[in-house]
Amino acid sequence: MYLSGLIAHLRTLIADEALDFVFQPIFDLHSRDVLGYETLMRGPEDSPLHTPEQLLRVARDAGLGLALEHLACRRALASFTAAHLPGRLFINLSAAMIVDQAATDALLAMVETAGLPAEQLVIEHIHHGEDGAEGLAAALQALAAQGFGLSFDALDADGAVPQPDFVKLAPAHIRQIHTNLPRQQAVAAFLRLAGGLGVRVVAEGVEDSRELATLQKLGCDCAQGYLLGRPAAEPARQLSRSVASVLAGPALNPP
């Protein structure tokens, strides 16, 4: 399908609100309870715009990014509430959406309509220090002041943006960490830095029980990944017995 056809298809999806949502659990490695869920949007299964990457790419090309994100945010909140999922909802928003929402109380109105307190929503922003959107730092500060949680993919060294509640470690830092002492040392140092700032660390992309055991021993706060639970409309609400057994031992002193 050519771009013009994809754009027309996207316009129809937005008009029909034809988006579904799946949720991937994030677990607290200390309490072993679910901390919350990251939401991912999906187009129709038989659509060339099924994945969030495809939806967002075409939306950017068509100038429909904000329209798509407005719809996705509203529908994700409604889906989360309807599923009666515990914990906090993590939702990725672009810099443009963050700046747009901070200018009004629209996001507060969305969560109130969904029946959630603002603090139950965690706004995730990836590459927050790289996109250079005008007004982004002030917008993040405004949303934090409204009570929303923040999650970034890095800690900001120069204080240009507010300190997040969570910072996520990308899968590249996690993969095969149980066999890589320098990687363990780097993650341990990052955990100490984040802990000193009062920021909780979420390890993403955990797929191997040995990776999880190593992260737990290093004192990592939280984790998500296929090992702990796949994205689903009805996601896991507690750890499986096999995963819980991996976390049965106490945390050790990091290297």
Section 60-77 average pLDDT: 95
Section 163-169 average pLDDT: 95
Task: Return the sign of the alpha-carbon dihedral for residues 35, 97, 8, 62.
Answer: negative
Residue 226 lies in a domain: yes
Q: Is the pLDDT of residue 253 over 50?
A: no
Section 200-212 average pLDDT: 97
Here the tokens at position 172 are 């590249």
Here the tokens at position 195 are 């802990």
Residue 254 lies in a domain: no
CATH number at residue 156: 3.20.20.450
Place of tokens 């399908």: 1
Residue 9 lies in a domain: no
Alpha helices in 45-176 (DSSP H): 52-62, 65-82, 95-102, 106-114, 136-145, 171-174
Q: CA–CA separation, 76 vs 234, rounded Å?
A: 13
Residue type, 13: L
Section 183-201 average pLDDT: 96
Place of tokens 């989360």: 80
Q: Is the pLDDT of residue 254 over 80?
A: no
Residue 80 lies in a domain: no
Is this structure's pTM higher than 0.75? yes
Closest CA to 98 of 51, 152, 61: 152
Which structural domain range is residue 178 located in?
20-36+85-246
Between strands 34-42 and 20-28, the pairing is antiparallel
Specify the pLDDT at position 249: 62
Residue 143 lies in a domain: yes
Number of domains the chain contains: 1
Residue 10 lies in a domain: no
Specify the pLDDT at position 252: 47
Residue 56 lies in a domain: no
Specify the pLDDT at position 3: 83
Q: Is the pLDDT of residue 250 over 80?
A: no
Q: What is the torsion angle, in degrees rounded to the nearest 10, for the CA atoms of residue 195, residue 199, residue 205 and residue 207?
A: 40
Q: CA–CA separation, 247 vs 213, rounded Å?
A: 6
Residue 252 lies in a domain: no
